Amino acid sequence: MSWYSIIIIITLVYWTIGVILVGIDEDWACYWAMGLLYPILKIILYPIRAWMTYSQHKEWYEKRGISRLQYIFGKRANKKEQ
């Protein structure tokens, strides 16, 4: 699957969701079109992003005594240790 195909699929999904939101509630469709749902989704999906980031650098965090749960709740290594 090429990058062009992925971009086309993402665009079609984005527009499909927009059309559905217009049918449900025009206010939400306006927020969707203006991109105001991004900050809301970023906050809601933070645990997933933190989980994935921890997984990518798991050994580094475990070496510094930071568990996955501590990382999700905001514990980070000191700058001096890095």
Q: What is the pLDDT of residue 58?
A: 92
User: What pLDDT sits at residue 82?
Assistant: 52
Task: Let me know: does 17 contact 32? Beta carbons within 8 Å.
Answer: yes
What are the φ/ψ torsions at residue 75 (nearest 5 degrees)? -75, 130
What's the pTM?
A: 0.51
pLDDT value at residue 79? 64
- pLDDT at residue number 20: 87
Q: What angle do CA 2, 46, 11 make, to 5 degrees?
A: 30
Cα torsion 42, 37, 35, 20: sign = positive
pLDDT of residue 55: 92
Which residue ranges in the chain fall short of pLDDT 70?
Answer: 36, 79-82
